[in-house]
Amino acid sequence: GPTEAINGRLEHLRGTALGFRNLTNYIARCLLKSGGFRNQLHS
C-alpha cells in the first residue's frame, strides 16, 4: 500500500544520504521526496 511505497522511497533515499551533513537536511529531503516534489531550478 501507500505506507510501503513511502518506506521504500525513504530506504532508497537513506542509501544516498551519505552526503548530508546534518539530520535536519536529511529530514527535509525525506519530506520533499515522500511528498512527491521534484527538484526544479529557477532561472
> What is the reported pLDDT for 13?
74
Distance CA 28, CA 39 (A): 13
Q: Are 13 and 30 in contact (CB under 8 A)?
A: yes
Mind listing the pLDDT tens digit for each residue in 14-39? 766 666 677 787 788 778 777 777 76
> What is the reported pLDDT for 30?
77
DSSP-derived 3-state class of residue 2:
helix
> What is the reported pLDDT for 26?
76
Under the banding of pLDDT at 50, 70 and 90, the label for residue 43 is: low
> What is the reported pLDDT for 23?
79
Under the banding of pLDDT at 50, 70 and 90, the label for residue 42 is: low
